[in-house]
Structure 1
């Protein structure tokens, strides 16, 4: 049975792919749960159009990620936190703090789940990290932690 997947199915494929499965699996599991629809020539044309638009969007996302990487790597991200007299922070700088500062700096949204710090930040100073902007693009960032005034 030839089906078009509408959702990602683990071990089978991702949305928009045409797959061949056994009749019972398709008829009793995939189609009733909305994971797939029957393959037809008209549906195949729709899939081709969706795939073209995804490729264009992926290219645009890739270009935007490259631009964002250039901005992030060219500048230092400044994070201000409350610190004691000896430079130790009250708490730590989290990836959410870095993501917010990067978003404020660039004007574009940076997800906290994409930020990785090389070390735990618990004192004032300079640190490094990585922001994964796209599957193929990551920005190496410099973070300056200052004592809040």
Structure 2
């Protein structure tokens, strides 16, 4: 029996997949638990429409991420921190500090978990930073640490 999965099923596939299963498995397990629905013309048309909408949404998200990446790479991200006379910081610059600096400079919220620092930043200077904006796109920006 051909079915469209309505939820992720470990042994069969993900939501929206078209699967072929035994009649008994479908009637006794998948259909009563509403894990799958019959693959009729209406369900297939709905599945195609959802796939097209998902592709359009992902393409738009990727385009937005590319635009943000170009803004980030061109921007001068300045982080102010307390430092001693020899240029060493009192503490370290963290992902949260970089995210706050991006928010203040570009008015864009970036999740601190998407920012990857090369190592701990404990001195004044410029440091490269990678920001994961999309699963296929990583923006490279430079953070300038200045004395407060």
Equivalent-residue separation in structure 1 for 2:105 and 2:32 (angstroms): 47
Matches within 5 A, 1:86-125: 86-125=86-125
How many pairs align? Answer: 147
When the two chains are superposed, the root-mean-square deviation of aligned CA atoms in Å is: 2.5
5+ unaligned residues in a row in structure 2: which ranges?
Answer: none
More off after superposition, 106-115 vs 121-130? 106-115
Q: Provide the TM-score with structure 1 as the length reference.
A: 0.81
Question: Helix, strand or coil for the counterpart of 1:143?
Answer: strand
Q: Which residue of 2 aligns with 1:79?
A: 79
Q: Provide the TM-score with structure 2 as the length reference.
A: 0.81
1:22-61 Cα deviation digits (max 9, x unpaired): 55388436862x5544433212211111111111111111
1:47-102 Cα deviation digits (max 9, x unpaired): 11111111111111111111001101111211112223332222211112212222
Q: Which has the greater radius of gyration?
A: 2
| Preserved contact between residue 68 and residue 106 of structure 1 (Cα < 8 Å) | no
Matches within 5 A, 1:1-149: 1-9=1-9, 12-22=12-22, 23-24=24-25, 27-28=28-29, 32=33, 35-148=35-148
5+ unaligned residues in a row in structure 1: which ranges?
Answer: none
Equivalent-residue separation in structure 2 for 1:29 and 1:107 (angstroms): 48
